[in-house]
Amino acid sequence: MSTSRKSEESIYRIPPYYYLHVIDQNTNVTRVETGPKTFIRQDNERVVFGPEKMITVPPRHYCIIENPVLKNKEDTVVFDANGQAKLLHADQEIRLAQDPFPLYPGEVLKQPVVALKVVVANAALRLRSILDFEDESGEKRTAGDEWLFEGPGTYIPRKEVMVEETIRATVIKPNQAIKLRARKESLDRDGDARVTGEEWLVKKTGAYLPGAYEEVVDVVNAYVLTEKKALHMRSIRTFKDDFGVVRKNGEEWLTKMSDTETHIPHVYEEVVGVVSITTLTNRQYCIILDPVDENGKPQLGRKKLVKGEKSFFLMPGEHLEKGIQNVYVLGEDEGLILKANETFKDAEQDVERKPGDRWMIRGPVEYVPPVEVEVVTKRQAIPLDENEGIYVRDVKTGKVRAVTGVTYMLNQDEEMWPKELPPTVEGLLATGKDPVADRGDRRATAPAQRDKTRVVTYRVPHNAAVQIYDYKEKKARVVFGPELVMLGPDEQFTQLSLSGGKPKKPNVIKSLCLLLGPDFCTDVIVVETADHARLQLQLSYNWHFEVTTKPEDKTYEVEAAKLFSVPDFVGDACKAIASRVRGAVAGVQFDDFHKNSAKIIRSSVFGFDENQKVRERFSFHQNNLVVTSIDIQSVEPVDQRTRDSLMKSVQLAIEITTNSQEAAARHEAERLEQEAKGRLERQKISDEAEAERSRKELLELQAHSAAVESTGQAKAEAQSRAEAAKIEGEAAVEQAKLKAQATKIEAESELERLTRAREAETKYIREQNELEITKTSQMAAIETGKFKDMVTSIGADTIKAIAVSGPEMQVKLLKSLGLKSTLITDGSNPINLFNTAQGMVGGLVPARSRPVPDSDEEDA
């Protein structure tokens, strides 16, 4: 509504540099009215735009006008026949700094006023032509052409040109290069023709500004080569490198410090990796697989031995077999097993070696194997004590033997042979328990790992035996302790599996050695009496093995083998003894057995001799086991009723014994109580008599104390009064002495004060006088010096002239008057002739011109 109201106004005041658009409704022609002006609108006219400020383009700025007006050569607007300004439709015009101008009807300000682009040094604008035109230098540009506007400078835009981007120069540092790619066929800055997609390097140090059809792919840093590093390069196409060598596609080579100190990879070569130098000491060597010959050609399938001291780079395609290896230094107790892989002649031993041959060299020697030889293993001499050994197998014959007690080194046809043992035997050997000291320990322990190539050894304890069976010879031997058993390759231990526990159970105890005793074992058996009373007996047997023959006897081996003829001698003996005891107990009553259990059991086991006496031993002839005694440790009824009755009888006996003991104790207690009462009555009478004697002594002491108390009080009062009077007198005397002393001190103090005051006053006056004298002396010296300086400054002649000027003038005045006078004096008083003359002529001098007399002259 405000716009319509404003357009209906008739008078418009247009300020300077403002304009408005007016449409003539009769002709439909729109014109521009510019200020300063007062516009009066006609009835057939209407203001369609404005007043609006003109567009001002300051220096170094520009704007873009769309649909600009058409101008002639005189730079004036061209109008059609109707007076309408002609427009270049769909065209643009870039207007630079000029006077403020209005927008004609149809013109549009496409881009407001902005500053011109300033291109700094080492930068450029990449421009693209969107229309065909000819620039200021006369060069024709076709639509799609691209070129650079390089700085420093200010870019003046054109309607035919569009700014694609701002390009900044890339700084190339030392040991750097930039990789460029051509976006279109063109010439680079060196004038070389480049095809689309071609890449090249620019290595010149400084700032490089890519061309219009160039793009920077990457900044390439140089690789710094040292004596210990080289570059492994690969060609990605056929080209000639920086050293003038033609490289074929896929070719690989090394670039070393001898070629260049720094290397920037070419665009057609890639760095596979950095190769470090391989250094061998005089104690090292290496074998190179697929070595490269002098012409750089790889010798595939070949090997090359390189000994130290030497440093070299592995060429592409070469690699080390097993890396850098140390020279084999063999001592006197060392050797090497070697194997030939190819036919060659061993120069050291002058022997022709064929593939597969094995031989051994012994130290001391230093050895570097040729490429035709493979080191199978290194052998070390094994020192063996008398009680140590190893199992050795000949790989050619398969024979296994045990080597003990010497220092032995395996040759090329021998190897260590592991001897396998049954798992139970392995466990017994690995636990390391003492068969005698730890025979009651059934706890499982972690077995130690056994070296199976070592000869199996077992220490047979004292009074024990071990049976060893040779499966090759089909023969067994028994070793008695203390002895160290060493198994041969074909020998095995005879394992004992004995009964254990209470009652005895089979296969509880595993052992390799048989203890010969004496020892004991305990068993629990159940028997039944003739009256069907079931009892549980715990019996302990003492046993031992008897070996009566000696090693030199012919029957020694037979008697020794009998010890192991019964696999479980414990279970067999316990079963035999238990059967005898059950048979004997079954024929007697419970009461008889309860009274004579030991005799019945011993007689049943040992039997009777020809004198009807119980024997002392029970022998097992199969294995020479002898049981020497039986200990009955406990007898317990198995039947509950028998156990209850036995318990009742025991309880009744205990109760009877307890009651009798209780009655005796009660009688003794009553007797002791009567004796205690009699002693108490006698003590009470003695205490009363003692109390009466103590009361009598107390009364006597009280009477004596009262007498002493009355006498002591009077005496104490008299003494206290005398002491009080004495103290008062002494106090008065002391007070008088103190007063006299105080008066004396006050007088002395006052005298000292007055003396010090007089001395101080005297000292003050003396110092004041001295100061006054010093002041007067200094003032006199100052005045003297002042007068002296004045006299010196005025001069003696001047003073003399001043002194005689007055009298001379008076004399002259008197002479001029012609007066003569006579002066009579007594000669004692001085006569001031100057004043006399002055007085004589004073009347002639006017009063206002007379000088004021000094005070010194008036006093005179």
**pLDDT tens readout for residues 685-744:** 888 888 888 888 888 888 888 878 777 777 878 788 888 888 988 888 888 889 889 888
CA 634/CA 631 separation, integer angstroms: 9
Q: What single-letter DSSP state applies at residue 102? A: P
Long-range contact pairs involving 837-843 (C-beta distance under 8 Å, separation at least 24): 837/807, 837/810, 837/811, 837/813, 838/806, 838/810, 840/810, 840/814, 841/810, 841/813, 841/814, 841/817
Neighbours of 394 (CB within 10 A): 14
Mean pLDDT of 790-812: 81
- The answer to whether the CB of 213 falls within 8 A of the CB of 172 is no
- The answer to whether the CB of 302 falls within 8 A of the CB of 321 is no
Question: What is the per-residue pLDDT for 830?
Answer: 61
Question: What is the per-residue pLDDT for 30?
Answer: 92
Question: What is the per-residue pLDDT for 389?
Answer: 93
Structure tokens at 701: 């002491």
Burial of 392 (0-12, 13-18, 19+ CB in 10 A): buried
Burial of 537 (0-12, 13-18, 19+ CB in 10 A): buried
Distances (CA, A) of 435 to 72, 215, 458, 479, 550: 133, 92, 11, 15, 24
Mean pLDDT of 83-94: 90
Question: What is the per-residue pLDDT for 439?
Answer: 66
CA 629/CA 577 separation, integer angstroms: 12
Structure tokens at 635: 């007898």
Q: Which residue has the higher pLDDT, 361 or 439?
A: 361
Beta strand 457-460 with 400-404: parallel, antiparallel or unpaired?
Answer: unpaired
Q: How much is the mean pLDDT over the chain?
A: 85
Neighbours of 427 (CB within 10 A): 14
Q: How confident is the model at residue 65 (pLDDT cuts 50, 70, 90)?
A: very high
306 has which bridge partners?
286
Mean pLDDT of 596-608: 86
Identify the top-confidence range among 162-166, 347-351, 804-808. Answer: 162-166
Beta strand 491-493 with 464-470: parallel, antiparallel or unpaired?
Answer: antiparallel
Question: Is the pLDDT reported for residue 854 higher than 90?
Answer: no
Question: Is the pLDDT reported for residue 279 higher than 90?
Answer: yes
Characterize 332-370 residue by residue with b for buried, 16 or more Cβ atoms within 10 angstroms of its Cβ, and e for exposed: eebbbbbbbeeebebeeeeeebeeebebbbbbeeeeebb
- The answer to whether the CB of 186 falls within 8 A of the CB of 194 is yes
CA 373/CA 303 separation, integer angstroms: 11
End-to-end CA distance of the chain: 123
Characterize 445-484 residue by residue with b for buried, 16 or more Cβ atoms within 10 angstroms of its Cβ, and e for exposed: eeeeeeeebbbbebbbbebbbbbbeeeeeeebebbbbeee
Question: What is the per-residue pLDDT for 1?
Answer: 40
Q: Is the pTM of this model over 0.85?
A: no
Q: How far is CA 316 from the centre of its chain?
A: 42
CA 247/CA 267 separation, integer angstroms: 13
Which amino acid, one-letter code, is at 429? Answer: L
Q: How confident is the model at residue 851 (pLDDT cuts 50, 70, 90)?
A: very low
- The answer to whether the CB of 130 falls within 8 A of the CB of 143 is yes
Kind plus residue range of the DSSP H or E element containing 458: strand 457-460
Q: Which residues contact 561 (CB under 8 A, 6 or more apart)?
A: 467, 476, 478
CA 130/CA 64 separation, integer angstroms: 16
Give one word for 525, left, alpha or beta, with left for phi > 0 and alpha for psi -120 to 50.
Answer: beta
Mean pLDDT of 459-478: 89
- The answer to whether the CB of 340 falls within 8 A of the CB of 357 is yes
Structure tokens at 554: 């012919």
Mean pLDDT of 239-261: 89
Q: How far is CA 38 from the centre of its chain?
A: 89
Structure tokens at 52: 């609006």
Question: Is the pLDDT reported for residue 797 higher than 90?
Answer: no
Q: Look at residues 400, 382, 392 and name the one whose alpha carbon lies nearest to residue 416.
A: 392
**What DSSP letter does each residue of 384-446 carry, written as one string?**
--TT-EEEEEETTT--EEEEESSEE---TTEEE-PPP--HHHHHHHHH---TTTTTT-----P
Largest interatomic CA distance in the chain: 217
Structure tokens at 722: 């005398």
Q: Which residues contact 230 (CB under 8 A, 6 or more apart)?
A: 254, 255, 256, 257, 274, 275, 277, 313
Question: Is the pLDDT reported for residue 783 higher than 80?
Answer: yes
Question: What is the per-residue pLDDT for 547?
Answer: 82
Question: Is the pLDDT reported for residue 285 higher than 90?
Answer: yes
CA 42/CA 10 separation, integer angstroms: 7
Q: Which residue carries 């017994």 as its tokens?
A: 428
Structure tokens at 822: 């006579």
Q: Give SS3 for 354.
A: coil
Q: How confident is the model at residue 671 (pLDDT cuts 50, 70, 90)?
A: confident
Q: Which residue carries 């209906």 as its tokens?
A: 8
Q: What is the CA radius of gyration of the chain?
A: 74
CA 210/CA 190 separation, integer angstroms: 12
CA 737/CA 832 separation, integer angstroms: 85
- The answer to whether the CB of 418 falls within 8 A of the CB of 390 is no
Mean pLDDT of 219-239: 91
Q: How confident is the model at residue 442 (pLDDT cuts 50, 70, 90)?
A: low
CA 318/CA 289 separation, integer angstroms: 6
Give the lowest-confidence range in 27-31, 153-157, 283-287, 612-616: 612-616
Question: What is the per-residue pLDDT for 837?
Answer: 47
Mean pLDDT of 739-767: 90
Q: Give SS3 for 581.
A: helix
CA 252/CA 232 separation, integer angstroms: 7
Q: What is the signed CA dihedral for 122, 128, 132, 138, rounded to 10 degrees?
A: 0
CA 209/CA 858 separation, integer angstroms: 114
Q: How confident is the model at residue 418 (pLDDT cuts 50, 70, 90)?
A: very high
CA 166/CA 148 separation, integer angstroms: 9
Question: What is the per-residue pLDDT for 32?
Answer: 92
3-state secondary structure 752-809: HHHHHHHHHHHHHHHHHHHHHHHHHHHHHHHHHHHHHHHHHHHCHHHHHHHHHHHHHH
Q: Which residues contact 797 (CB under 8 A, 6 or more apart)?
A: none
Q: How confident is the model at residue 856 (pLDDT cuts 50, 70, 90)?
A: very low
Characterize 289-317 residue by residue with b for buried, 16 or more Cβ atoms within 10 angstroms of its Cβ, and e for exposed: bebbeeeeeeeeeebbebebeeeebbbbe
Q: Which residue carries 């230093």 as its tokens?
A: 366
Question: What is the per-residue pLDDT for 558?
Answer: 82
Structure tokens at 370: 């040729």
Give percent of the chain above pLDDT 70.
92
pLDDT (tens digit per residue) in 323-334: 999 999 999 999
CA neighbours closer than 13 Å in the CB half-sphere of residue 255: 28
Question: What is the per-residue pLDDT for 9?
Answer: 81
Cis check: omega of the bond before 51, within 30 degrees of 0: yes
Neighbours of 182 (CB within 10 A): 20
pLDDT (tens digit per residue) in 504-536: 888 888 888 888 878 888 999 888 888 888 888
